[in-house]
């Protein structure tokens, strides 16, 4: 199946507290806990109300017959293909035709609700794909301009390639209706099963929305892939997919997936006919410096969680974790639970929140303390170019009924996406922490301030030539102080970065 964002991960530490302890003065700002509790209650009402009206699902449709062939033969094209989202080249007329006939999630191999067809061809340098996605209501297609590896939550299509035909690993390429790219590398083996979202390579895509749906063109250079270097004809595993969004996400596939099998790549169809192609040299230079400090935690943990879904992308994800965490030579055992929740009341508006309670490591005092945290957030997409995001995180830690600290982090982000290659972004972040100096061990923390306030502003512009050739230009301004009336500027930075890569 196509990539699906993973479930709840381990809750992060209070990193912003840990970084703020040194060199910051006192603050007399009051806690915002009552406001947070009121906001959380209001958000829960919004999120839970759709469940009251949500009737249980009717009997699921019967599975579609397994009519799609498992092997397809691709042909070489001798006429050029230009990836511009306008499939008017004659090469597409004789290209291999593959349909996407199944809905595999939430339905289990039932007939797809909308028709999708894909044309495949190749030449000496590239593998080409053309998707034609029919939609009865094209005005409801979800698509926005976003940075590369963005576009999650949009309609999109993609191709997965098992280039070694070992039924274990695959490259996945995904594109939304406006041409925004995302790619990952899948390892589908036992306990090592994973999806590496940091994997990026160079390829081309373009798309456009039409009166009948949308079309997407893709060109994947063979130099961007790894596969056997041989003069013989090659067979690759492959699968095509489409994400079709309405109130919920419908995952459509060219592959008939048997959920009783614990692998996905092993169920891909086969693509034959590839001959006279060569992979890239796979040369990559990544200078890396790693430093280990005494006291770096090494953890063991167990997690139990559930995922409850409803209409309008409503979700509730309760989770419980039991950890054994090593810090400064000592093992600390903690247990805590939290609930993540969210919904999309309307297409461009998304809301979410989290509440948690349990034990956490008080790193400054080297002890276990009681920890409460949570907060709401929302995002709004204005048209295809603008996205606004804001969230608030509150954390309170106590030990033996004595407050250690309470902290607030409010951050907002405004992004204008000019194209899928260029964007401008403004980030504002406010951190406010109230400490209780009496709760800190003087032999470990001899000089604890009563509080701190820090305000960060960052403006960034970016242009990407391809996945690994990018230019950044930005400005940041940091302010901190003991009280909002005495906040002062502490650093101003103008920065630029250039990264460059090419295929060999």
Q: What is the CATH number of the domain that holds 405?
A: 2.40.160.10
Cα separation, 356 vs 433, in Å, equals: 19
Cα separation, 404 vs 399, in Å, equals: 7
* pLDDT (tens digit per residue) in 363-411: 888 889 999 999 999 999 888 889 999 999 999 999 988 999 999 999 9
Q: How confident is the model over 138-148, as a mean pLDDT?
A: 88
Lowest-confidence segment of 92-106, 167-181, 410-424, 470-484 by average pLDDT:
470-484
Lowest-confidence segment of 30-44, 141-155, 276-290, 358-372 by average pLDDT:
30-44
Q: Which domain holds residue 146?
A: 64-274
Query: Among residues 447, 455, 448, which one has the least CA distance to residue 484?
Result: 455
Q: How confident is the model over 101-106, as a mean pLDDT?
A: 94
> Which distant-in-sequence residues (6+ apart) come within 8 Å of 151 by Cβ?
143, 144, 174, 176, 180, 182
Q: How confident is the model over 129-133, as a mean pLDDT?
A: 97
pLDDT at position 334: 92
Cα separation, 442 vs 164, in Å, equals: 60
pLDDT at position 483: 39
CATH code of the domain containing 191: 2.60.40.1190
Has residue 192 got a pLDDT over 70?
no
Has residue 441 got a pLDDT over 60?
yes
pLDDT at position 339: 95
* Residue 135 covered by a domain: yes
pLDDT at position 184: 92
Query: Among residues 150, 271, 162, which one has the least CA distance to residue 226?
Result: 162
* Residue 169 covered by a domain: yes
Residues 443, 317 within the same domain: yes
Has residue 50 got a pLDDT over 50?
no
Has residue 340 got a pLDDT over 70?
yes
- pLDDT tier for residue 283 given thresholds of 50, 70 and 90: low
Has residue 248 got a pLDDT over 80?
yes
Residues 353, 267 within the same domain: no
CB 160 within 8 A of CB 242: no
Lowest-confidence segment of 118-127, 174-183, 289-298, 445-454 by average pLDDT:
289-298
Residues 138, 217 within the same domain: yes
Percent of the chain whose pLDDT exceeds 70: 79
Cα separation, 420 vs 205, in Å, equals: 10
Lowest-confidence segment of 301-305, 382-386, 480-484 by average pLDDT:
480-484
Lowest-confidence segment of 345-349, 399-403, 460-464 by average pLDDT:
345-349
Measured CA to CA in angstroms, residue 67 lies from 102, 339, 393, 487 at distances of 10, 42, 50, 68
* Residue 91 covered by a domain: yes
Has residue 263 got a pLDDT over 60?
yes
Measured CA to CA in angstroms, residue 230 lies from 160, 385, 424, 458 at distances of 21, 45, 45, 50
Residues 322, 468 within the same domain: yes
Q: How confident is the model over 450-475, as a mean pLDDT?
A: 87
pLDDT at position 421: 83
Percent of the chain whose pLDDT exceeds 90: 49
pLDDT at position 194: 73
Residues 441, 411 within the same domain: yes
Cα separation, 330 vs 366, in Å, equals: 9
Cα separation, 442 vs 437, in Å, equals: 9
* Residue 80 covered by a domain: yes
Cα separation, 158 vs 182, in Å, equals: 9
| 426 class by beta-carbon count within 10 Å (0-12 exposed, 13-18 middle, 19+ buried) | middle
pLDDT at position 35: 42
Segment holding 454, helix H or strand E: strand 451-466
Q: Using CA of residue 8, residue 265, residue 175, residue 226, what is the dihedral sign?
A: positive
Q: Where does a domain end: 217, 239, 274?
A: 274
* pLDDT (tens digit per residue) in 11-31: 333 333 333 333 334 333 344
Work out the end-to-end distance of the chain between its first and last CA atoms, rounded to an integer number of angstroms: 31
Mean pLDDT of the chain: 81
Has residue 131 got a pLDDT over 70?
yes
Report which of residues 310 and 39 the model is more confident about.
310
Lowest-confidence segment of 13-22, 232-241, 450-459 by average pLDDT:
13-22
pLDDT at position 341: 94
Has residue 454 got a pLDDT over 70?
yes
Cα separation, 85 vs 131, in Å, equals: 10
Tokens representing 18 are: 């840990």
Tokens representing 45 are: 């009402």
Residues 348, 228 within the same domain: no
| pTM assigned to the model | 0.61
Query: Among residues 456, 368, 400, 405, which one has the least CA distance to residue 21?
Result: 405
* Residue 354 covered by a domain: yes
- pLDDT tier for residue 254 given thresholds of 50, 70 and 90: very high
Q: Where does a domain end: 212, 239, 274?
A: 274
Q: Using CA of residue 107, residue 108, residue 113, residue 116, what is the dihedral sign?
A: positive
Residues 204, 108 within the same domain: yes
Residues 349, 423 within the same domain: yes
Segment holding 45, helix H or strand E: helix 33-53
Q: Where does a domain end: 274, 303, 324?
A: 274
DSSP state of 75: -
Residues 214, 308 within the same domain: no
Residues 395, 423 within the same domain: yes
Task: Give the pairing of strands 169-175 and 181-187.
Answer: antiparallel
Lowest-confidence segment of 33-42, 186-195, 267-276, 299-308 by average pLDDT:
33-42
pLDDT at position 206: 95
Report which of residues 263 and 118 the model is more confident about.
118
- pLDDT tier for residue 124 given thresholds of 50, 70 and 90: very high
* Residue 285 covered by a domain: no
* Residue 152 covered by a domain: yes
Residues 357, 461 within the same domain: yes
Has residue 414 got a pLDDT over 90?
yes
pLDDT at position 9: 34
* Residue 38 covered by a domain: no
Has residue 187 got a pLDDT over 90?
no
Residues 252, 399 within the same domain: no
> In sequence order, what DSSP letters do the residues of 301-346 get, joined into one string?
EEEEE--EE-STT-EEEEEEEEEEEEETTEEEEEEEEEEEEEEEEE
pLDDT at position 193: 57
Cα 294 from chain centroid?
Answer: 32
Domain total for the chain? Answer: 2
């Amino acid at each position: 199946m196509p990539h699906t964002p993973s479930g709840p991960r381990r809750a992060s530490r209070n990193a912003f507290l840990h970084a703020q302890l040194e060199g910051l003065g006192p603050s007399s700002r009051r806690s915002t806990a009552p406001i947070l509790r009121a906001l959380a209650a209001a958000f829960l009402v919004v999120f839970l109300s759709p469940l009251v009206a949500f009737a249980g699902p009717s009997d699921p449709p019967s599975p579609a017959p397994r009519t799609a062939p498992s092997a397809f033969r691709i042909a070489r094209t001798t006429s050029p293909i230009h990836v511009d989202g306008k499939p008017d080249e004659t090469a597409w007329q004789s290209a291999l035709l593959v349909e996407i006939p199944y809905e595999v999630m939430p339905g289990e191999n039932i007939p797809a609700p909308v028709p999708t067809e894909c044309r495949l061809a190749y030449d000496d340098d590239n593998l080409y794909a053309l998707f034609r996605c029919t939609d009865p209501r094209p005005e409801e297609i979800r698509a926005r301009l976003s940075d590369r590896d963005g576009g999650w939550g949009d309609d999109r299509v993609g191709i997965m390639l098992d280039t070694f035909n070992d039924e274990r690993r695959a490259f996945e390429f995904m594109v939304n209706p406006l041409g925004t790219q995302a790619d990952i590398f899948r390892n589908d083996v036992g306990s090592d099963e994973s999806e590496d979202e940091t994997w990026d390579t160079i390829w081309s895509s373009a798309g456009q929305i039409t009166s009948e749906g949308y079309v997407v063109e893709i060109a994947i250079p063979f130099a961007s892939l790894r596969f056997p270097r041989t003069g013989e004809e090659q067979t690759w595993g492959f699968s095509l997919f489409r994400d079709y969004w309405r109130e919920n996400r419908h995952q459509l596939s060219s592959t008939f997936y048997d959920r009783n099998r614990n692998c996905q790549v092993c169920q891909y169809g086969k693509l034959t006919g590839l001959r006279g192609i060569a992979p890239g040299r796979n040369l990559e230079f990544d200078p890396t410096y790693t430093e280990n400090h005494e006291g770096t935690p090494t953890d063991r943990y167990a997690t139990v969680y559930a995922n409850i879904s409803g209409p309008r992308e409503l979700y509730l994800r309760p989770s419980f974790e039991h950890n054994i965490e090593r810090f400064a030579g000592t093992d600390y055992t903690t247990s805590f639970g939290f609930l993540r929740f969210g919904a999309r009341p309307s297409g461009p508006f998304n809301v979410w929140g989290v509440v948690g309670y349990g034990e956490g490591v008080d790193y400054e005092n080297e002890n276990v303390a009681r920890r409460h945290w949570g907060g709401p957030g929302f995002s709004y997409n204005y048209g295809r170019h603008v996205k606004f995001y804001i969230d608030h995180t509150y954390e309170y830690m106590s030990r033996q009924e004595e407050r250690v600290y309470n902290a607030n982090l409010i951050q907002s982000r405004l992004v204008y996406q000019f194209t899928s290659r260029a964007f401008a972004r403004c980030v504002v972040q406010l951190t406010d922490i109230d400490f209780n100096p009496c709760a800190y061990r003087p032999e470990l923390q001899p000089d604890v301030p009563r509080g701190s306030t820090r305000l960060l502003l960052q403006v960034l512009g970016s242009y990407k030539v391809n996945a690994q050739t990018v230019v950044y230009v930005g400005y940041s301004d940091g302010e901190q102080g003991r009280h909002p009336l005495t906040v002062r500027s502490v650093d101003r930075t103008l920065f630029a970065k250039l990264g460059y890569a090419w295929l060999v």
